[in-house]
């Protein structure tokens, strides 16, 4: 962002705080973003908003628009890398939007499950399992919120959100509430229409089928154990660092290039799974960017495959 824009944005922060105070939206200033990401990296946010309801969320977004302050929507920060200098605008967290899912029986014997954007994906999977509803087992253990999962069409073990997503509720760039069917969301590999629009997901509905609760639970536990066995869950990371390149797997390419354990500062290629860059202690955003650039360059030079970061870098 140009320096003048940054200066203007900083000048508008007190006005934004006044708008938030009047609207009753909880917020703090100078909040360390490393406390709100799974990577445990990131400088302070000029303003960090914690709306508790969709109404407060709408008020926070309206205040940012009215004050001309840049805004970033954050779930539980599982796929985000914030800059070491932080974020000069407002980070709006949806993590408090965690009401219990609603279940509506469907004619085919399944159910339409509607849940808010801030609900952890694993909590949604567990709620569906208790109701004997199948279709979300693949998502159990994905460390993100429902909103973030829809935004990036999260997936694992042969399944993805788009397979069961029915519709999404959102606030558009004007603050108007809308509902769109899944077919209108341009869902693709780790992407959706939300990557191209300044919209905020508030809730989503999933069409799930009936199943045996015990079998569903067993599958969820099996996939969670596979995660624990194969992924470096014991260290801070942002999940899979790179998208899967056509016809190959990022982790395998990185391993074949002899990059296991490669380190820049506090960031390192995981010894357990080369598809993960982990924070082994005191890693900075600059460390991660330097390391991932080196990985991508080496893999391209040796294999011809182009690696694209899956992690969202926010400056």
Residues annotated as catalytic (active site), given as ranges: 190, 240, 310
Q: What is the CA radius of gyration of the chain?
A: 20
- Residue environment code for 119-142, b if the CB has 16+ CB neighbours within 10 A, otherwise e: bbbbbbbebbbeebbbbbbbbbbb
Enter the tokens of residue 36. 């709100």
Beta carbons of 207 and 106 less than 8 angstroms apart: yes
* Long-range residue pairs from 190-199, CB within 8 A, at least 24 positions apart, any chain: 190/152, 190/153, 190/154, 190/155, 190/243, 190/310, 191/152, 191/153, 192/150, 192/151, 192/152, 192/153, 194/150, 194/151, 194/170, 195/151, 195/152, 197/172, 197/173, 198/173, 199/170, 199/171, 199/172, 199/173
Q: Which residue from 234, 248, 260, 231 is spatially nearest to 306, judged by alpha carbons?
A: 248
Distance CA 72, CA 89 (A): 8
Residue 313, token pair as written in the block: 């870098």
């Amino acid at each position: 962002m140009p320096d003048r824009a940054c200066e203007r944005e900083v000048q508008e922060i007190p006005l934004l705080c006044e708008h938030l105070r009047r609207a009753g939206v909880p917020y703090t200033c100078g909040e360390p973003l490393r406390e709100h990401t799974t990577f445990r990296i990131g400088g302070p946010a000029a303003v960090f908003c914690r709306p508790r309801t969709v109404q407060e969320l709408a008020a926070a977004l309206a205040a940012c628009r009215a004050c001309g302050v840049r805004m970033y929507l954050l779930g539980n920060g599982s796929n985000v890398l914030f800059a070491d200098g932080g974020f000069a605008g407002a980070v709006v967290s949806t993590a408090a939007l965690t009401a219990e899912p609603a279940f509506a029986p469907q004619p085919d014997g399944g159910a339409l499950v509607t849940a808010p954007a801030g609900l952890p994906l694993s909590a949604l999977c567990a709620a569906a399992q208790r109701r004997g509803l199948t279709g979300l087992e693949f998502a159990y253990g994905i460390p993100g919120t429902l909103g973030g999962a829809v935004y990036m069409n999260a997936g694992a073990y042969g399944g993805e959100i788009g397979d069961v997503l029915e519709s999404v509720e959102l606030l558009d760039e004007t603050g108007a509430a809308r509902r769109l069917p899944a077919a209108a969301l341009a869902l693709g590999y780790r992407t959706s229409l939300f990557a191209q629009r300044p919209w905020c997901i508030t809730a989503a509905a999933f069409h799930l089928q009936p199943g045996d609760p015990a079998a569903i639970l067993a599958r969820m536990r099996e996939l969670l154990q596979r995660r624990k066995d194969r992924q470096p869950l014991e260290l801070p990371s942002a999940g899979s660092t790179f998208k899967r390149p056509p016809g190959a797997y990022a982790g395998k390419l990185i391993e074949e290039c002899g990059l296991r354990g490669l380190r820049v500062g506090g960031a390192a290629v995981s010894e357990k799974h080369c598809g993960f860059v982990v924070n082994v202690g005191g890693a900075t955003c600059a460390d991660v960017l330097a390391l991932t650039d080196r990985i991508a360059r080496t893999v391209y030079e040796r294999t011809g495959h182009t690696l694209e970061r899956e992690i969202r870098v926010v400056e």
